[in-house]
Amino acid sequence: MSTQPNNNPNNSISWHSWDESAFKMAQLTDKPILLMISAQWCYWCHVMLEDSYVDEGVVNHVNQNYIPILVDTDQRPEVNFRYNVGGWPTTAILTPHGGMLAGATYLTPDQLLSMLLEVTEAYQQDKPGLYDRARELFLQHQQRASRVGLSQVSTEIEPRLLDRDLIDSIARMSIGTYDALHGGFGYDLKFPNPHVISLMNYFFQQTKEPFYEVIIRKTLDALTTSAMSDSEEGGFFRYTKHRDWSDPQYEKLLDDNIALSSAFMSAGIALEDPGYIRFSLDTMQFLQDSLYDPKSRSYRGSIGADSAYYGMPPVIRSSMESPEPDPFSYISSTAKTVSLNIRAITAGLTPPLDESQLNIMLTRLYDQVSSGSSAHAFTSELTGGQTNLLIDLAAVIETLSLGIQNLIIPKLEWEPKVKSLVEILMETYYDERRGAFFDTPDSKGQPGYMAIREKPLPDNIVAIKALMAYQNAAGITEYADAIRISLIAFLDVYGEYGEHSADFALLASQYLDDIGMDNISA
């Protein structure tokens, strides 16, 4: 079943898109909003859509009392960042103006109906009380968002320091979760954590300590020899349900596989191990064979979990129809894939895309964001709604800058074009007052939590990388202050981002290396 909004009565509930018209309808009819955040690759999202949301009692109650909105997390990451309540599917009930009333993840039909009935009754009997609570939650969310940044860039009372000791402490926290028995990090659900692997790669390159080599090899060998790796069709699954890398959740995500291919490449270079290089290139080939859309010259976001297919022996799988990929492609992920191919060429490898293909794709990416108006998700026939996300512009700037730096595209022609994109980045998304980057343009007039300007760490990592890459390509230091302040802006919150804290530590290390210093302050 598609996770796209629909108006087909045969699909039980006529879902609306997240847009102004849905909120206007909710306000005119004075009905709360039922928000489901789903994903094309999410197994339990499809179960809930095909089970809970076709239950007769649920359908009748929703149609009478709610305005249902269905959001795909990959297509609208900015909505997901603000409203996700702990996983997918997210089930949230909002006021007609977008305030949070209740939230859960996967719910059976009975659980969902119970939640809906409870909120409906409270909405009818104590609406002022619900609105007061929603307002409190809004202010709490707003306060959390405001923690990212300096008190004021020019008047910070106590200097904030980011140094090698802090980076070492982040590495130690990652090492503390290392599973010495099975490799990887963590002891329950086992995610591959490519950002942590990349941080271990960095420390091995810097220190040559055998300890880091053991962690890297144990983890990468486990990934390649366990059920996490699809030995038949390539690529890695999202996670396994046990610490010994058994019983995988079978979805394959583009961003995960990009990060894993990069981690294998770095390890192969650092350890001089051709086997890891081969796995990196094989994973890149999987992306090309399974997720590349030649019509739009872009990469689709995922292949959904299908245990009925992936759980079969190869001889049976060969006679079955393989799962369909996400029909949508994504600007930022396509840019990251292009960057991965450029890195491979720079390392003397032969990736799926040659220089002429990269040149064409770099031009396509520039065209998608150069007008200042972009759609994060698109197909060859359909452009999604205008989103203008930081992540897209930043990823394209980084990729184009790498293209210039590595002579894929000519500097004389392309440096002024990239400079114009950097100017849009700084004018539209950078917080001149407190540092770091907002994930969306000015959010005035947006409903609910969308009115809160957020600075997600993963998006900011891409933005900082973009400025670093552009400075290296252009041979300038114009944005050094913005890079320094944006890194320091996350000192109070980086630890809340899981494996992305390792990515933060790696980026900070690389920046200190670039400027030849052991610390930065603001």
pLDDT digits (tens, 9 = 90+) for 275-288: 999 999 999 999 99
Per-residue pLDDT, 372: 82
Per-residue pLDDT, 297: 95
Q: Burial-class residue 258 by CB neighbours within 10 Å (0-12, 13-18, 19+).
A: buried
Q: What is the pLDDT of residues 109-126, one digit of tens each?
A: 999 999 999 999 999 999
Q: CA-CA distance, 249 to 307, in Å (whole number)?
A: 8
Q: CA-CA distance, 490 to 1, in Å (whole number)?
A: 39
Q: CA-CA distance, 223 to 493, in Å (whole number)?
A: 30
**Pair of tokens at residue 332:** 């930022």
Q: Which CATH architecture has domain 154-176+329-522?
A: Alpha/alpha barrel (1.50)
Answer yes or no: same fold for 154-176+329-522 and 180-327. Answer: yes
Higher pLDDT, 385 or 18: 18
Q: What is the pLDDT of residues 244-280, one digit of tens each?
A: 999 999 999 999 999 999 999 999 999 999 999 999 9
Q: CA-CA distance, 86 to 295, in Å (whole number)?
A: 36
Q: Residue range 143-153: average pLDDT?
A: 88
The answer, yes or no, to whether residue 7 has pLDDT greater than 80, is: no
Q: Residue range 283-303: average pLDDT?
A: 97
Per-residue pLDDT, 443: 77
Task: Give the relative orientation of helices 274-290 and 210-225 as an angle to the nearest 10 degrees.
Answer: 40
Q: What is the pLDDT of residues 66-103, one digit of tens each?
A: 999 999 999 999 999 999 999 999 999 999 999 999 99
Per-residue pLDDT, 157: 54
Domain segments of the chain: what residues? 9-145, 154-176+329-522, 180-327
Q: CA-CA distance, 36 to 23, in Å (whole number)?
A: 15
pTM: 0.96
Q: Which CATH architecture has domain 9-145?
A: 3-Layer(aba) Sandwich (3.40)
**CATH number corresponding to 180-327:** 1.50.10.10
Q: Residues with Cβ < 8 Å from 277, sequence gap 6 or more?
A: 264, 265, 268, 269, 349
Predicted confidence band of residue 151 (pLDDT cuts 50, 70, 90) = confident
Predicted confidence band of residue 154 (pLDDT cuts 50, 70, 90) = low
Please report, in angstroms and rounded to a whole number, the separation of the first and last CA atoms in the chain: 51
Predicted confidence band of residue 3 (pLDDT cuts 50, 70, 90) = low
Q: Residue range 113-141: average pLDDT?
A: 98
Give the least confident one: 203-212, 344-353, 436-445, 486-495: 436-445
Per-residue pLDDT, 8: 45
Which residue carries 């396994």 as its tokens?
Answer: 240
Per-residue pLDDT, 12: 80
Q: Residue range 130-137: average pLDDT?
A: 98
CA nearest neighbour of 34 among 57, 12, 63 = 63
The answer, yes or no, to whether residue 2 has pLDDT greater than 70, is: no
